[in-house]
Structure 1
Amino acid sequence: MAWTRRDALLAATAAALLRPAGPARAQADWPEKPVRIIVPFPPGQAADLFTRLYADELSRRWPQRVVVENRGGGAGAPALEAGARAAPDGYTLTAGTSGTLGINPSVLPRLPYDAERDFAFIGNVVVLPLLIVAHPSFPARTAAALVEAAKARPGGIDLATAGPATSQHMSAELFAHRTGTRFNMVHYRGSGPAMADLLAGNVPLMFDSVAAALPHIQSGKVVPLAVTTPERAPQLPAVPTIAETVAPGYGAFGWAGLCGPAGLPESVLRRVNTDLNAILREPAMQARFIELGGTAAPGTPEAFGDFVRREIAQWREIARIAHVRLEG
């Protein structure tokens, strides 16, 4: 039977009604162009290394490339601001970290982003355990012995950190608070110079990452006392945790996750989380993370959001107690 003009109009109307709307269709086809992940540190740092690992895998799974863009400086604040102000279309994501999301809100005045409101939390990626290491000449060989020595000499034991308000420094302040001890915090411009002075015996103690300290532990140049994560680090299974020895419930560590701007479409958020978790659960990827000093941390967006909020609350309290504040 031949179609009339009225039949054609009805068919066109029905087709238009069945076709997804513009934004919905765009979300269904996402990604249609390269996806950018902003890393708030220079190339070669931990957040950069782990981000590049999963970014390469996402590029293999998606029809478009994932490009890592490094924006170092300013304690990561400029990079996080750029990520927060990006269009919430899924084409600009941000590697949020323990420093930029967890610590900065409590120590940086005039922070140009709201860590709790300006981001859509996609998922955590990696946990980076820290630990207390000592020069071999230091008599304490356990966390309990260290606490005893520190209580005998309040403020008389030097403890090196990678700089004020770093994860290493804040973890040390949390340790002092939870154990009722006091140390003379010696701040360096990064972990490298601090470790150099520890190896030389110029300072007896340091909080550092397992990744950075492991070669020196294996060579016998420094002695591990305890790790900061709630569970023992897979790289050092014989080293006890602070929580199991002197401060039940203690947990402090570096971490890096993935987030987008607030308002990120739910379908995009779930898609990225699903693919990211699949990558993080691959045995080969988990083994590579351990080799680099971290532990893969797959999970839900909701769990990651709750985790970030707990981190902010914990470091806000420690920053207040220890009077930690960065200027500029």
Structure 2
Amino acid sequence: MIIKRILILPVLLLVISFLTFLLTSIVPGDIAEGIILKQGGQPTEETVAAMNEQLGLDRGLFARYGQWLIQALQLDLGTSWVSGEPVAKELAERIVPTLWLTSASLVISVLITMFFGTAAAYFRDTAVDKAILGFSLIMNCIPEFLLAFILLFFFAYKWDIFPLVGYGSLEHLILPSLVLGFGIGAGKARLLRSSILDAMNSNYVAMARAKGLTKWQALKKHALRNALIPIVTSFGSTVGFLLGGSVIIENIFNWPGLGRLALQAINSRDIPVLQGYVLFATVFIIGIYLIVDLLYMLIDPRVYAKRSNIHG
């Protein structure tokens, strides 16, 4: 399984990088003119032609992509068209903030999912269950940006507990990670509740209860382990969302992450930065799904055994 993932990675990188190159090339507007304006210059016919030649935009799409691909194979992602800095340097500066925010949000969402999902399943059809379902429904309905402004108003502006925006300390990390963690964890708590209830209604749990296990023992030892399989899958896709999908939260909290860098590259059509981001995101997400598959094997080794039998 690991070897297959490693072998398919170059093909995915090639396809995704070319599609990114193609899409950025067909977007309306003159790239050279936009860069000249951002640099404070005057986009005359001569300056635009000079900028196109400097950036290599006077050549065809395949020629430009081929040159970029040769450089990428040499671990050279090029230079940003806007800042003039090496793309690898810009990505490296944004990776650490992104990993901090992603990790903290993921931990919070896992804790919320496990606690509320298990409690709702154990206290099914009680006031506790209804309260948890109501809370998760509210959290799913509230947009992330609105929840961010609510937390900022109370915890940063009115009560002055946390800083408003910025990056550099644990206090700066708490509010944005809470926004992302609660939004993700609340929805997955409902999924875990449903998965646990399905497992609790199975024959093997009924047999365990008949042997004398309490409801909590049957849930913890038998139902929860099998109920975690769809949750692990769901969290695998969540990590990919947190990598680049948290761009709104990064902008609200002035968080210098990769998602914000990608948005800036899209707005300025900074193709080298966007290509570098796509490469990193692809490798990262494939790695996450590989970890998810390995967790399958730990939670339920029969999953991998079934796959092996099917492919064999």
Q: What TM-score results when the alignment is normalised by the length of structure 1?
A: 0.24
Q: Which protein has the bigger strand share?
A: 1
Q: Which protein has the bigger helix share?
A: 2
